Structure 1
Amino acid sequence: MAVADGQGVFQVRFDWGPVGADAVAPGAAYVAVVDVLSFTTTLTVAIEQGISVLPYRWRDDSAVAVARLHGAMLAVLRSQAGPGQITLSPESILHTDLEAAKIDRLVLPSPNGSAISARLADAGCTVVGVCLRNAEVAATWVAERAAGRPVAVVAAGERWPDGSLRPAVEDLWGAGAFLAALAEAGDTAGFSPEALTAMAAYQGVAGRLPAVLPESVSGRELRVNGFAGDVAVAAAVGAGPVVPVLRDGWFVPAY
C-alpha cells in the first residue's frame, strides 16, 4: 500500500498541508480547508461582510494584476497596511467602512490556506473554508449534502524558517471542531484514526479556547506583533454563521 492511499478506505479523512491535501482529497465530495490564524478566519469574516474572496497563492506583482483584472481590493501585508486597507488580519475587515470603500471583492494571498484552497480547486475539488467561528455550521452544511460520500479535512499549518511544514495546533483544533460537529450529524464509524485524533484534540480544549488559543505559538506570535485582536476574533467559536464555498475561483456564501 502506498502511504498516499492510506486513508482512502475511510469516509472521513484528515491530513496536513498541501501534500496531505493531495493524499486525502481524491474522491471526496467536499474538502474543508482550515487555517485559523489567519486565512480561513479572515475569509469567513469577509464572507460575513458580503465580500467575495479569491484565494491567491503568491504575494507578488501577479497578485496586483489579478486584483486589477477583477476590480478587487488586494489584501496587503499587516506591516504595510495604510488607512482603509485590508490585510490577512480579520480585524482589518471589521474596522473598515466597506460601504464607503466600495469593497465587495478581495484577492487574499496566503502561502498556506489560500494556496491549498487554490490547489484543491485546480484539482476539481469542492472546497469549504472552515475556522473556529464557523466549524459547526460548515459541518452541518457539508453533512446535509455529502450524502454518505467521503469528506476530507486539511489543516493548513504554518512554515518553519526553512520552508518545511510546521503543524499548528490552532489548525488541529479548527479541524477537530469541524469533525466533532460532523460526528454529531452521524457517527464516527467511517472516521480515519487521523480524523478521530484531530477531533479528540479539539474536545480536550473546547471549553477553554479563548484562553489557550492566545498561548499557542501562532497566537503568541500575533500578540507580540500587536495583533491580539486577530486571535480574539479567531477564538470566537460559533460566531460566524456563514459557509464559504469556492466556486469558479471565488469563495462565496454557500447556497
Structure 2
Amino acid sequence: MTASFGWPAAGQGVSFGWGPVEARALAPAAACVVVVDVLSFTTAVGVAVEGGTAVHPYRWRDASARAYARERDAVLAVGRREADAAHPWSLSPAALRAAPAPDRLVLPSPNGSTIAVEAAAGRATVVAAALRNRTAVAHWLAARGHGSAERPLAVIAAGERWPDGSLRPALEDLLGAGAVLAALRAAVPGLTLTPEATAAATLWDATEDPAAALRGCDSGRELYEYGYPQDVEVAAETDSSTTVPVLVDGAFQEAP
C-alpha cells in the first residue's frame, strides 16, 4: 500500500511529522510550523536568541554559507571542533551561551535548519522549540489560536541522518515534540490532535526522567563521547526559558 501524505482529516488541527520531507508535505496547509531539533539546532537557536542574536538558518556549512553570511553582515557558525577563542560560535548551545553575542548568526544544520528553510518557503509562521522553552512555545501558540481547524499547526521533529543521508528518527526530538504537544494539549482543553501527535504527547507524559533519556539516547551518548556533555545538559534544562524564537525575514528573533 502506498502512503499518501498530506494534511490530516478535517477537525484535526494539530499534526506531527518527521524531517524535511514531511515538513514539505505538511507546511503548505499549516498556519504555523514548529521545528524541534533538541540536539542541537533549536536548543542553540533558543540560547542565541535569548542573548539578543538574530539567527539565520542555512542548510549546509560550505562556501555558499560563507557568502550568505557575508551578504547579511553575520557571523557564520563553524563546526564544534573548529571553534576557538577567536571564533567561538558553533552549533554548540553551551559554547553559544559562553560566547559574546553577535547581532546576526548564520547557523547551518542539515536537519533542523533545513526544515526551517523548507517551512519558511510557504505561508506558515515558523517557530523553534526545544525542551528549554516547550511551555512558553505552547502558551504562545495557544494565545494565537494555532492548532485549531482554522489555524492548523504542524510540529516537526528533525531527527538525524544515517550515513546514506536517509532520516534516522531520534528519541530526543520525539520527546521534544511531545513536550510541546503535551503542554499545548494542557493549555487548550478539547484540542484535537492526530494520532501521531497524540502518541508523541503521551510519550512525553510517560517519561519520568527526560534528562536521563537525553543523556542515554544515541545522540546524547555521541555528544558525551565526543567531549560535549554540556550541550546535552543545556538541552535538558526543561522549561528554563520563556523565549519563543520566530522566523522573521529569514532570521529567528524573539517573538513579541
Offset at residue 189 of structure 1 (A): 4.7
Q: What number of residue pairs does the alignment pair up?
A: 250
2:71: which partner in 1?
A: 69
Work out the CA distance in 1 between the residues paired with 2:135 and 2:242: 9
| Between 6-15 and 64-73, the greater mean CA deviation after superposition | 6-15
Task: Verify the 8 A CA contact 1:76 1:86 in the aligned structure 2.
Answer: yes
Correspondence for 1:106: 105
Is residue 93 of structure 1 aligned with residue 96 of structure 2?
Answer: yes
Aligned to 1:56: 58
List runs of 5+ in structure 2 lacking aligned partners: none
| 1:29 and 1:146 in contact (8 A); partners too | no
Partner of 1:126: 125
In structure 1, how many angstroms separate the alpha carbons of the residues matched to 2:180 and 2:6?
A: 23
- Residue of structure 1 in register with 2:252 after alignment: 251
Matched-pair contact (CA < 8 Å) for 1:176–1:195: yes
Q: Distance in 2 between matches of 1:64 and 1:97?
A: 20
2:5 match: secondary structure: helix
Q: TM-score, normalised by structure 2?
A: 0.94
Question: C-alpha deviations, 1:104-133, integer Å up to 9, x for none?
Answer: 110000000001101110122210000000
Contact 2:27 2:122 (8 Å CA) reproduced: no
Contact 1:48 1:242 in 2 (8 A): yes
Matched, 1:40 2:39: no
1:212 aligned partner: 213
Distance 2:190 2:165 in 1: 34
Cα separation, partners in 2 of 1:28 and 1:93, compared to 1, 3 Å: same
Aligned to 1:79: 81
C-alpha change, 1:19 and 1:134, in structure 2 (3 Å) is: same
Rounded Cα–Cα distance in structure 1 between residues aligned with 2:190 and 2:201: 10
Measure, in 1, the Cα distance between the counterparts of 2:83 and 2:7.
Answer: 43
* Identity between Structure 1 and Structure 2 (%): 50
Indicate the residue corresponding to 2:194 in structure 1: 192
Amino acid at match of 2:244: V
> Of the candidates 146, 149, 153, which is equivalent to residue 151 of structure 1?
153
Instruction: Give the unaligned 5+ runs of structure 1.
Output: none
- More off after superposition, 142-151 vs 11-20: 142-151
Tell me the C-alpha RMSD between the 2 structures.
1.4
**TM-score calculated relative to the size of structure 1:** 0.94
Distance in 1, matches of 2:63 and 2:217, equals 33
Q: 1:53–1:105: 8 Å Cα contact kept in structure 2?
A: yes
> CA 1:65–1:140 in 2, change beyond 3 Å: closer, same or farther?
same
List 4+ stretches of structure 1 deviating above 4 A. none
Q: Which whole-Å CA distance do the structure 2 matches of 1:105 and 1:8 have between them?
A: 40
Distance in 1 (alpha carbons) for counterparts of 2:158 and 2:99: 27
5 Å-filtered alignment, 1:24-35, equals 24-35=26-37
Contact 2:7 2:29 in 1 (8 A): no
1:243–1:189: structure 2 CA closer, same or farther, 3 Å change rule? closer
- In the aligned structure 2, how far is the partner of 1:93 from the partner of 1:19? 29
TM-aligned CA deviation for residue 80 of structure 1: 1.1
Conserved? CA contact 1:36–1:132, under 8 Å: yes
Residues 212-236 of structure 1 show CA distances to partners (whole Å, capped at 9, x for unaligned) of: 2100000000000000000000000
Q: 1:167-206 residue pairs with structure 2 within 5 A?
A: 167-205=169-207
CA distance in 1, matches of 2:215, 2:190: 30
